[in-house]
Amino acid sequence: MSSAHMGPAVVFDQVFKAFGPHHVLRDVSFSVPAGKVLCILGRSGTGKSVTLKLLMALLKPDRGSIWVDGDDVTRLKPSGLSKVRRKMGFLFQDAALFDSLTLYENLALPLARLTTKTQAEIDFAINGVLSEVELADDKDKLPSDLSGGMRKRAGLARALVLEPKVLLADEPSSGLDRITASEIDELLLRQKRDKGTTILVVTHDVHGARRVGDQFAVLDKGELIAYGTAAEVENSGRDTARKLISEDYPA
């Protein structure tokens, strides 16, 4: 729609999604103001990753609408969808880097195909984003030569290289030690603080979530059972939500 969209950056409105008889999301609604971080919490298999994939229009909802920066991604044609996706970055759970390309080539692929940047400008953009994630010296390495934490940071670099307005991160700290997880959290915070990026994070790491999150959404069996600030979720009266957001509950 418009680049001057003033409403929430992301709106989920009565979204329902099922895979066969399995109802993954049941009429879920929430919104995320621009420049804020929403952490989506929930037990495994409750539809958290599906929520992110619906937002990126990698999946289609059975009903409901999903708005990103003023555009309903459920009704867009491929050309319109491509424009909306340009505003978003996606950090996949296992980074999903392209195996046969070096780190530099992974980042150069979208820049070379989707922008009119010159080679020098592409080099500048890649060096900049790789420096931010502290991988500037590793740009010639293949993904198989990177550690788990480096791959996550490389995935984040690729998600950020087109300077998205909305960043989706699927379990950015899963499988990482607490120090590396904390570094990833710091990168997300810096992205929100310096660039004003709206961020949706799916996570099981409550410490990280409390550190980066402004708002929290708790999903249970496909339903949104709590939504709001950490205090609001804790006081929502839902036991599952309280356990998931509590830092004292055993991991």
CB of 233 to another protein, least distance (A): 28
**d(C-alpha 192, C-alpha 201), whole Å:** 12
The contacts of residue 127 (CB under 8 Å, 6+ apart) are 136, 139
CB of 112 to another protein, least distance (A): 10
- Which residue, 34 or 59, has its beta carbon nearer to another protein? 59
- Which residue, 98 or 249, has its beta carbon nearer to another protein? 98
CB of 95 to another protein, least distance (A): 9
**d(C-alpha 106, C-alpha 46), whole Å:** 31
CB of 83 to another protein, least distance (A): 8
Biggest CA–CA distance in the chain, Å, is 56
- Which residue, 154 or 206, has its beta carbon nearer to another protein? 154
CB of 140 to another protein, least distance (A): 19
Angle between helices 178-195 and 148-160 (to 10 degrees): 10
CB of 39 to another protein, least distance (A): 20
Q: Give the interface with another protein as residue ranges (CB under 8 A).
A: 53, 56, 58, 78, 82-83, 85-86, 88-90, 92-94, 96-99, 109-110, 113-114, 158, 162
List for the chain the helix, strand, coil content (%; round to 5): 40, 25, 35
* 202 close to 24: Cβ distance less than 8 angstroms: no
What are residue 198's DSSP bridge partners? 166
CA 4 to chain centre: 22
User: Which helix (H) or strand (E) element contains residue 108?
Assistant: helix 103-114
What are residue 31's DSSP bridge partners? 11
How is residue 213 written in tokens?
A: 């999150």
- Which residue, 68 or 225, has its beta carbon nearer to another protein? 68
In terms of Cα–Cα distance, which of 100, 108, 109 is closest to 130? 108
- Which residue, 88 or 233, has its beta carbon nearer to another protein? 88
* 178 close to 186: Cβ distance less than 8 angstroms: no
- Which residue, 56 or 244, has its beta carbon nearer to another protein? 56
- Which residue, 84 or 219, has its beta carbon nearer to another protein? 84
CB of 109 to another protein, least distance (A): 7
DSSP letter at 95 equals -
